[in-house]
């Protein structure tokens, strides 16, 4: 009998970069197995601070050569430090739609985003703008790779994330749970800066650069908006577009506070 392929989880087991590792250690949301630091870099102080943080929590710290650390790394510039941790825990989609501790759900969903740098930058912006959760498709999309964790600069430690089998079905479920679903696409119905929202639960859906939102995802959204482009270029990348959209949602929420 053929084996069923193992389902991909969120990932996140290898964390690289000083800010990403610091947030991993400070957040304390998941077990850290070990921290590797390069012993032969010019300025050891930032790495020593991270090593002290890890040792204070009883986490093993190993010093290795910069060349050996580069061989262990999965990004081009790990900044002298790698942490190995338990994978990020998945959260049920329904759980993301529930208000917690006075926070109204503000979710970000991605449709077909495969570039890890873009996803990481988007997660960083979303967390800074006050997003409470992220929805990622289980297939045909990048998950939390070392490059994503580094670009996210620790945001993955503070965002609850759900993996879903299909984004169109997930959107329908969020709408059933009272979440207003907003798509962002170059062919949107109205400008981003005319959002008819205030402080209600919202999910912002972002499509892949170039392709935009898939047809079925677009159809399932309550509204699709566009970012006005005033120059000669035809588009922004998904991280830049997502940053603008996240902060427009945040601006409107602040205005009602």
Contact at 8 Å (CB) between 37 and 51? yes
Kind and range of the H or E run holding 18:
helix 18-27
Residue 228 has pLDDT above 70, yes or no: yes
- Read off the pLDDT of each residue in 78-89 and give the average, rounded to a whole number: 97
Residue 103 dihedral angles phi and psi, to the nearest 5°: -100, 120
* 104, two tokens: 């109204």
Residue 226 has pLDDT above 90, yes or no: yes
Residue 3 has pLDDT above 70, yes or no: no
93-256 is classed in which CATH architecture? 3-Layer(aba) Sandwich (3.40)
The C-alpha atoms of residue 253 and residue 200 are separated, in whole angstroms, by: 9
Q: Which fold has domain 14-85?
A: 60s Ribosomal Protein L30; Chain: A; (3.30.1330)
Query: Would you give the distance in Å from CA 124 to the centre of its chain?
Result: 6
- In Å, what is the CA distance from 221 to each residue of 154, 167, 193, 202? 30, 11, 17, 11
Q: What confidence score (pLDDT) does residue 11 get?
A: 96
Q: What confidence score (pLDDT) does residue 1 get?
A: 47
Confidence of residue 63 (pLDDT cuts 50, 70, 90): very high
Q: Each residue of 20-52: pLDDT tens digit?
A: 999 999 999 999 999 999 988 777 788 999 999
The average confidence (pLDDT) of the chain is 92
The whole model's pTM is what? 0.93
Q: What confidence score (pLDDT) does residue 4 get?
A: 47
| SS3 category, 199 | coil
Q: Domain spans of the chain?
A: 14-85, 93-256
Contact at 8 Å (CB) between 133 and 10? no
Confidence of residue 5 (pLDDT cuts 50, 70, 90): very low
> Percentage helix, strand, coil, to 5, in the chain?
35, 25, 40
Neighbours of 10 (CB within 10 A): 20
């Amino acid at each position: 009998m053929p084996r069923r392929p193992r389902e991909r989880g969120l990932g996140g087991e290898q964390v690289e970069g000083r800010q990403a590792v610091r947030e991993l250690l400070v957040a304390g949301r998941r077990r850290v197995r070990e921290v590797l630091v390069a012993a032969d870099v010019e300025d050891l102080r930032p790495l020593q601070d991270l090593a002290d943080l890890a040792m204070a929590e009883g986490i093993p710290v190993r010093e290795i050569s910069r060349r050996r650390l580069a061989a262990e790394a999965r990004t081009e510039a790990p900044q002298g430090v790698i942490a190995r941790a338990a994978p990020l825990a998945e959260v049920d989609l329904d759980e993301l739609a529930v208000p917690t501790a006075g926070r109204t759900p503000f979710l970000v969903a991605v449709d077909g985003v495969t570039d890890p740098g873009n996803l990481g930058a988007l997660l960083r912006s979303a967390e800074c703008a006050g997003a409470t959760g992220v929805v990622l498709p289980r297939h045909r999309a990048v998950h939390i790779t070392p490059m994503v964790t580094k670009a996210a600069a620790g945001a993955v430690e503070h965002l609850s994330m759900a993996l879903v089998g299909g984004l169109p079905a997930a959107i329908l479920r969020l709408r059933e749970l009272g979440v207003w679903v907003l798509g962002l696409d170059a062919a949107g119905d109205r400008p981003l800066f005319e959002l008819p929202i205030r402080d209600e639960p919202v999910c912002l859906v972002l499509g892949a650069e170039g392709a935009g939102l898939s047809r079925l995802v677009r159809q399932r959204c309550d509204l699709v908006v566009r970012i006005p482009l005033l120059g000669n270029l035809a588009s922004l990348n998904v991280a830049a577009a997502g940053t603008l959209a996240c902060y427009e949602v945040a601006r409107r929420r602040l205005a009602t506070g």
